[in-house]
């Protein structure tokens, strides 16, 4: 691996401190930060996706943050193409890419490659879509559990696009999407020497951070951002519509619930997302260092020492 250029990955669930640690790491190693959060790619939702503001970037170059319109779709494949270009450019300038994000599938696509899932006929997708719209998300999710429990466990009932994708793959191939994705590709999505640091804070500590962060989002103007987002008139099945807090605040703006209730439900949805992310990371991501409850207080110097030793074994 000595002839491969290094890539440092800072992964973890929402509100685990990835953004701050990635910035400090990049400052330490002459690095640049590359976003691996599926919602932070969208320009229209800076506050609600907790995308770092310019002042929070500390003068360190950041890539793939707010790079797409919410009217576009960003898949793991599309992100991998953009990330590969960004990483190659950073390596060419003799700097270290620091990948930061909580979208596990993006990180796995980068380090392990993407499995080839067969194309599903349009008629099957249309049939499954009609079924979802007919029975609703909760019942559809319960039915999916019978054939693909792994997908059902990690997806909320409101994630129409991914639930339909999982059910359509099973209907079209007789195998679960999880089975297809578990097939090991021939090579990584981007060939490099990877070091992965996984942040897994104590659950109650993380839940408190989630609640405090959403309160801060509201102070910063999350409701106005949601109002402007609503005015775009986007299709309900676009990925950006799944950003935590969007659905809840839009329902408030539509008069379906009070603001206090919307905020409470958004916090609950964020905690549920964190729980699913933690489960996914434990099962799917190969890690070199896990920073969990054993670190009663996160010792960044120990983390940085670990990263320095890794970089000494690679060629930038």
Boundaries of domain holding 67: 6-114+185-312
pLDDT digits (tens, 9 = 90+) for 72-110: 999 888 999 999 999 999 999 999 999 999 999 999 999
pLDDT value at residue 179: 84
Is 22:61 a contact under the CB 8 Å cutoff? no
Percentage of the chain lying above the pLDDT 90 cut: 70
Is 109 a member of any domain? yes
Is 197 a member of any domain? yes
CATH number of the domain within which 92 lies = 3.40.50.300
Is 105 a member of any domain? yes
| One domain for residues 208 and 295 | yes
Is 156 a member of any domain? yes
Is 101 a member of any domain? yes
CATH number of the domain within which 164 lies = 1.10.20.140
The answer on pLDDT for 295 being more than 70 is: no
| One domain for residues 178 and 204 | no
pLDDT value at residue 154: 79
Segment 115-121 mean pLDDT: 83
Domain boundary among 182, 201, 221: 182
| One domain for residues 211 and 262 | yes
| One domain for residues 20 and 167 | no
| One domain for residues 137 and 160 | yes
Is 220 a member of any domain? yes
pLDDT digits (tens, 9 = 90+) for 299-313: 778 899 999 999 988
- pTM of the entire predicted model: 0.84
Is 14 a member of any domain? yes
Domain boundary among 182, 199, 229: 182
Burial of 235: CB neighbours in 10 Å, binned 0-12, 13-18, 19+:
exposed
| One domain for residues 237 and 306 | yes
The answer on pLDDT for 294 being more than 80 is: no
| One domain for residues 156 and 140 | yes
Give the total number of structural domains in the chain.
2
Token readout for 227 is 């109002």
pLDDT value at residue 240: 93
| One domain for residues 79 and 220 | yes
| One domain for residues 291 and 147 | no
| One domain for residues 88 and 189 | yes
pLDDT value at residue 1: 41
| One domain for residues 171 and 274 | no
Q: Of 282, 279, 97, 291, nearest to 194 (Cα)?
A: 97
State how beta strands 62-63 and 6-11 pair: unpaired
- DSSP states of 69-90 as a string? -TTS---HHHHHHHHHHHHHHH
The answer on pLDDT for 222 being more than 70 is: yes
Domain boundary among 144, 159, 182: 182
Is 1 a member of any domain? no
pLDDT digits (tens, 9 = 90+) for 271-288: 999 998 998 898 888 899
| One domain for residues 265 and 301 | yes
pLDDT digits (tens, 9 = 90+) for 53-75: 888 898 999 999 999 999 999 98
Q: Of 154, 170, 153, 161, nearest to 133 (Cα)?
A: 161
Q: What is the mean pLDDT of the chain?
A: 91
């Amino acid at each position: 691996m000595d002839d491969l250029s290094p890539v440092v990955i800072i992964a973890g669930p929402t509100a685990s401190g990835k953004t701050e640690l990635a910035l400090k790491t990049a400052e330490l190693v002459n690095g640049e930060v590359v976003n691996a959060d599926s919602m932070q790619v969208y320009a229209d939702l800076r506050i609600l996706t907790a995308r770092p503001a310019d002042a929070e970037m500390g003068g360190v170059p950041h890539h793939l943050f707010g790079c797409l319109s919410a009217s576009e779709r960003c898949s793991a494949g599309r992100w991998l193409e953009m990330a590969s270009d960004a990483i190659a450019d950073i390596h060419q300038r003799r700097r270290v890419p620091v990948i930061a994000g909580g979208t596990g599938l993006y990180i796995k696509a980068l380090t392990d490659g993407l499995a080839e899932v067969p194309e599903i006929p349009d008629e099957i997708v249309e049939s499954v879509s009609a079924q979802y719209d007919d029975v609703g998300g909760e019942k559809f999710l319960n039915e999916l559990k019978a054939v693909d429990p792994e997908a059902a466990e990690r997806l909320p009932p409101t994630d129409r696009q991914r639930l339909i994708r999982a059910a359509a793959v099973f209907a079209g191939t007789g195998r679960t999407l999880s089975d297809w994705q578990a097939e090991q590709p021939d090579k990584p999505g981007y060939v490099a020497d990877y070091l992965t640091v996984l942040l897994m804070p104590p659950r109650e500590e993380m839940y408190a951070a989630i609640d405090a962060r959403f309160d801060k989002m509201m102070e910063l103007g999350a409701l106005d951002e949601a109002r402007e987002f609503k005015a775009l008139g986007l299709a309900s099945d676009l990925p950006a519509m799944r950003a935590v807090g969007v659905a809840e605040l839009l329902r408030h703006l539509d008069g379906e619930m009070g603001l206090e209730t919307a905020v409470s439900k958004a916090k609950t949805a964020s905690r549920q997302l964190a729980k699913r992310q933690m489960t996914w990371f434990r099962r799917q991501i190969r890690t070199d260092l896990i920073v969990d409850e054993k670190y009663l207080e996160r010792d960044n110097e120990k983390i940085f020492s670990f990263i320095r030793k890794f970089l000494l074994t690679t060629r930038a």
